[in-house]
Structure 1
Amino acid sequence: MKKTKRILALIGALLLAGMYISTLIFAFIGSPAAVDLLKISVACTIFLPVLLYACSLVYRLSRKDKDDDSSAQ
C-alpha cells in the first residue's frame, strides 16, 4: 500500500508542477485564447490539490470505519 501511495503522490506532484508551468506559459502568451487557458489553468491549480486532499480524507475515513468494524467483533 505504501508503494501505491508514493506513486499516487508522485503523479499528483507532477500534475501540480504541470499546472504551475502551464499557468506561467499561458500568462506570457499573447493570443486571445491564452486568457481563457490561463483562467482554466489557475482554476485547476486550485481545484486539483483540494480534490487530492478530499480523496485522501475519504480514504482515511473509510479505512478507519473498516478498522473499527473488525475490532468490534
Structure 2
Amino acid sequence: MKNTKRVFALVGVLLLLCIPVLLVIGAFTASRDSAALFKASIFCAIVVPIMVYAYMLIYRLIKKNNKEQIDSKQINKKDDQGGIDNQ
C-alpha cells in the first residue's frame, strides 16, 4: 500500500511540475493554438490540485466509514456470542 501511494504521489508531482513547463512553452510559441494551450494549462494548474485534494478527502471518508462498519460488526458479533453485555 505504501508503494502504491508513493507511485501516485510521484505521478502527481510530475504532473504538477509539467504544468508550468507547458505554460512557458505555450507563452513563447507563436501558433494559432497557443492561446488555447495557455488557457488549458492554467485550467489544469488550478483544477488538478483541487481534484487531488478532493480524491484524498473522499478516500479518507470512505476508509473511516468502512472501519466503523467493521468495528460495529465485530461488536455485534461479540454481543451475539455473549462476550459483551451492554446492559
- Normalising by structure 1, report the TM-score: 0.92
What code does the residue aligned with 2:29 have?
Answer: I
Runs of 4+ in 1 over 2 A off after TM superposition: none
Verify: 1:66 aligned to 2:71, yes or no. no
Partner Cα separation in structure 2 for residue 44 and residue 67 of structure 1: 34
Aligned length: 73
How far, CA to CA, are the matches of 1:36 and 1:21 in structure 2?
15
Provide the residue aligned with 1:20 in structure 2. Answer: 20
Ranges in structure 1 where 5+ consecutive residues have no aligned partner: none
Question: Aligned residue for 2:5?
Answer: 5
Q: 2:40 corresponds to which letter in structure 1?
A: I
Higher fraction of helix: 1
The separation in 2 between residues aligned to 1:27 and 1:12, in whole angstroms, is 23
Residue 16 of structure 1 aligns with an amino acid whose one-letter code is L
1:40 alignment partner in structure 2: 40
Pick the structure with greater CA Rg: 2
SS of corresponding position for 2:33:
helix
Q: Whose RCO is larger (CA < 8 A, sep 6+)?
A: 1
Unaligned runs of 5+ in 2: 74-87
In structure 2, what is the equivalent of residue 55 of structure 1? 55
Identity of aligned residues (%): 38
* Offset at residue 33 of structure 1 (A): 1.2
